[in-house]
Chain A
Amino acid sequence: MELKEKILKELETVIDPELGLNIVDLGLIYEINIDEQNNVDIKMTLTTPGCPLHDSITSGARYVLEAMEEVNDVNVQLVWEPAWSPDRMTKRAKEWLGA
Chain B
Amino acid sequence: MNMMPGLSKTETNIKLPFSFIIYSLLAFSASQIILFFSGDFMTNGTFRIPPLWMVAHLLLLGWALMVAMGAMYQLVPVAFLTPIWNEKFGFIQFVITAVGITSFALSLAFSPNLTMITGILTLLGILMFLFQMAMTMKKQADKNILTLFVGSALGSLLLTISLGILLAASVSGALPLTNHIAILKTHIVLGVVGWFSLLIFGFSYKMVPMFSLAHGFSMKLSKPIYILYILGLFLTILSFWLNQTYLFQLGMVLLFVSFTLFVWHIKRIIKKRLKKNLDKPFIFSLIAIVIGWVIHLSAMVSSFIAISSVLYGAIIYLYILGWIVFSIMGYLYKIVPFLWWTHKYSKEMGKPNVPTLKQLMNEKLGMLLFTLCLISYLGFIISFSFQLTNLYTIVQSLFAITILVFSSTVVNILRK
* Chain A residues in the interface with B (C-beta under 8 A): 13-15, 17-20, 30, 43, 47-57, 59-61, 63-64, 77-81, 85-86, 89, 94, 97-99
Contact = CB atoms under 8 A, between A and B. Distances in A.
B1 A79 contact: yes
B282 to A, nearest CB: 11
B219 interface: no
A59 B349 contact: yes
A57 B349 contact: yes
Contact of B215 (A49, A50, A80, A85): A85
A55 B346 CA distance: 8
Interface residues of B, number: 38
Question: Taking chain A's interface residues, is the majority helix, strand, or loop, or is none over half, making it mixed?
Answer: loop
Contact of A53 (B3, B342, B351): B342
B274 A18 contact: no
18 contacts: A14-B349, A15-B356, A17-B349, A18-B357, A43-B1, A50-B10, A50-B81, A52-B77, A52-B338, A54-B7, A63-B349, A79-B3, A85-B216, A86-B215, A86-B216, A97-B213, A98-B277, A99-B276
Contacts, number: 97
Given A48-B210, A50-B78, A98 B2 contact: no
B276 A97 contact: yes
Nearest to A13: B350
A81 B1 CA distance: 5
Contacts of B8: 54-55
Given A14-B349, A47-B213, A78-B4, A94 B79 contact: no
Interface of B: 1-4, 7-8, 10-11, 74, 77-81, 209-211, 213, 215-216, 274-277, 338, 341-342, 345-347, 349-351, 354-358
A97 B275 contact: yes
A55 B4 contact: no
B350 A60 contact: yes
Contact of B78 (A43, A51, A79, A97): A51
B342 A97 contact: no
Task: State the 5 A-B residue pairs at the shortest beta-carbon distance, nearest first.
Answer: A60-B349, A98-B276, A56-B346, A60-B350, A64-B350
B99 to A, nearest CB: 29
Contacts of B216: 85-86
A47 B85 CA distance: 26
Nearest to A52: B78
Nearest to B81: A50
A56 to B, nearest CB: 3
Contact of B347 (A59, A77, A81): A59
B304 to A, nearest CB: 43
Contacts of A47: 213
A69 to B, nearest CB: 16
A8 to B, nearest CB: 14
Nearest to A45: B1
Contacts of B347: 56, 59
A47 B80 CA distance: 16
Nearest to A85: B215
Nearest to A55: B8
Given A18-B357, A20-B358, A55 B341 contact: no
A47 B273 CA distance: 12
A43 B3 CA distance: 10
